[in-house]
Structure 1
Amino acid sequence: MDIIGRRPDDIGPATALNPQERNTLIELAKITKNDTFYDFGSGHGYLVFDVVRKTRAKKAVGIEMDFARFSRSVNEARRKLTRKQLDRTELYCADYFSYDVSDATVIYEGHERTAHEVAEFERLLDNGKKVRVVTVDLPLVGYRPVRIANHESTRFFVMRTPFSRYRVGNPDTWASYALGKEGAKIRDVFEYYDALLNKRGFTRRERQNAVRKLKSVVRSCF
């Protein structure tokens, strides 16, 4: 197992999936022996561990900005994985947008995305290589997903590169893909997202900030 750690200045919110949600994601991503999987914001590493245990992926890489979560993931890997599984596991404490992910074929990104991060995704993966990007709750703003899966109230979306092939022209069209409902409007996405965060126990202020950020991303992408 490769381990590299550093303590970054900017740490975003943690995102955790339960075992059933991780299984849904892995099935949706269709990971094979030819794939190299990356988890952007890998937290305690459980999705990375499930990928190396349940698929034949060449390698599973977790990149986590929070040093405490990264440190725990290293300890958990040593405790939960076999030697052969550790050989296919890499954990890094870093900013994933400044990291070399040129070998990635499948990427999971489960954090809130700013307009800058959407642009960084485009830049990072604009190398002609085919990559599957999995997101949770909403697809990457401005793009239509190629596959969708649900586990209870959690929705997963798969996007493919080159992104330009899957660009949508206006926010309402994107809203229809995001909600899986023809004729949806972008305001419906904002209401859905607020209700989803409320169900997960976020405070009113936290929900308002998250919806405000989403609106900013939408304005920047269309």
Structure 2
Amino acid sequence: MDDEELFRSGLAELLDAAPDIEVVAQAADGRAGIQTVQAHRPDVVLLDMQMPVMDGLSAAAEIRRSVPSTAIVVVTSFDYDEFILPALRLGAAGYLLKDSSADELRRGIRVAAAGEAMLSPAVTRHLLDVVGEHLGEDHSESVRLVTDLSERERDVLGCVAAGMTNPQIARHLYSAETTVKTHLAHALTKLGDLNRTQAAIIAHEAGLTPPAA
């Protein structure tokens, strides 16, 4: 959903060209977008942050509440970096820039549909900078949450916080990808049924990092 018709239609045409992606609907504002998602229940919704009627953050919160099976990927301008952490805390599975390449956009959709997360490199750098600026703040709740995890679950979560995919984590930990998925699923459940991106933020706040290879 995006209020810029030219961008929205161009993006739809670009994505429809991929054999494994189908654009089922479009919307020009947040309220219409929510209704469209509720009607079609897509695997993934692409969402801008600044829209008329209802902004992207409010729309994301309602989509997460009413259609939790739909993964949210934000596609917006980096100028509005005050939206990054709030969007990810609401459960967005991805945050991509409007100047991302076609391959990046398609990969972001596929990653989100698979239950993982993807951020543009510039967004990842900014997110790490923001988290780093606030490391001195009280993150005792995040620290408490991760202490309930097993050592291996913390290892996996540290890798997730570093932006690794499941195959990359498996190689780093010399483990099977199915084992990584199991540890991650257990960790997400213990953290309160969060998604991958929300868990990564908690891991950042708790100071988790990938174990030495």
Scaled by the length of structure 1, the TM-score of the pair is 0.30
Structure with higher helix content:
2
Query: Highest relative contact order (Cα 8 Å, sep 6+), 1 or 2?
Result: 1
* Structure with the bigger percentage of strand: 1
TM-score normalized with structure 2 length:
0.31
